[in-house]
Amino acid sequence: MDAPLRFRASSTIWSRGCSLLYYGMARHLPSSIAPGGRWWKAIRAAVCRQLFASCGNDVNVETRAWFGSGRHLSLGDRSGIGVNASLHGTIIIGHDVMMGPDVVIYSQNHQFSRTDVPMNRQGFQPERPVIIGDDVWIGARAILLPGVTIGSGAIIGAGAVVTKDVPEQAIVVGNPARVVRSRTALVLQPA
């Protein structure tokens, strides 16, 4: 009985130590595009590998990214979290995902249904995970709200506020985000 408790305590200590290392040092290292960037990228990835629920190969967690404890975050192979991104709650990010700077993702919202109780005393709504498919590009300052699923191959335009699911290969822009075209409908002209 003591061994599992000791393991649990030591893994909690390890997790807290890794969080301290990330938020105290690794988060503040220069961007991966700065001189020496591959080293900064490698250090942040190594620390995040210890924090995330799952973390793929060749990931890029950029400078000043915030994700709480990271224990409910999954990041796929060759995916990135943008500069100064802010990720809250359970978020599953597929493979080959690009994320611009200042992206915000929430999987939970405040409760606000009662008018007789101040909103800041009503707690939170149940968590609704955000799922991002493979090969997705999320533009700068986009906001993804609780429960949305972003289909594989989609593009989220800069500044878009995503309140509903986004179909595969869709290009969405605006507030609220709306589909403006499909990537499969794009016809490339010969050079």
11 or 126, higher pLDDT: 126
Q: Could you tell me the pLDDT band of residue 186, with boundaries at 50, 70 and 90?
A: confident
Chain mean pLDDT for the chain: 90
- Asked if residues 147 and 129 have their Cβ atoms less than 8 Å apart, the reply is yes
How far is it between the farthest Cα atoms of the chain? 69
pLDDT in tens, 70-100: 999 999 999 999 999 999 999 999 999 999 9
Q: Is a pLDDT exceeding 80 seen at residue 179?
A: yes
CB-facing half-sphere around the CA of 36: CA atoms within 13 A? 5
Lowest-pLDDT range of 59-63, 141-145, 171-175, 186-190: 186-190
For residue 128, being part of any structural domain is answered with: yes
pLDDT tens digit sequence for 7-42: 334 477 777 888 888 888 888 888 888 888 899 999
Q: Which tokens sit at 51?
A: 């924090």
Q: How many domains does the chain have?
A: 1
Q: Is 110 a catalytic residue?
A: yes
Establish how many alpha carbons lie within 13 A of residue 158's alpha carbon, considering only the half-sphere containing its beta carbon.
5
**CA gap 16, 125 in Å, rounded:** 27
**Does 146 fall in a domain?**
yes
Residue 2 has a pLDDT of: 43
Domain around 63:
53-184
- Residue 100 in any domain: the answer is yes
Per-residue confidence (pLDDT) for residue 1, from 0 to 100: 40
pLDDT at 119: 94
Residue 129 lies in a domain: yes
In a domain, 64, yes or no: yes
Q: Active-site residue among 28, 72, 88, 110?
A: 110
**Nearest to residue 51, comparing CAs of 65, 25, 69, 27?**
69
- Say if 69 falls within a structural domain: yes
132 has pLDDT over 80:
yes
- The answer to whether residue 57 is domain-embedded is yes
Output the domain CATH number for residue 178. 2.160.10.10
pLDDT score of 12: 74
Structural domain includes residue 32 = no
For the entire predicted model, the pTM comes to: 0.86
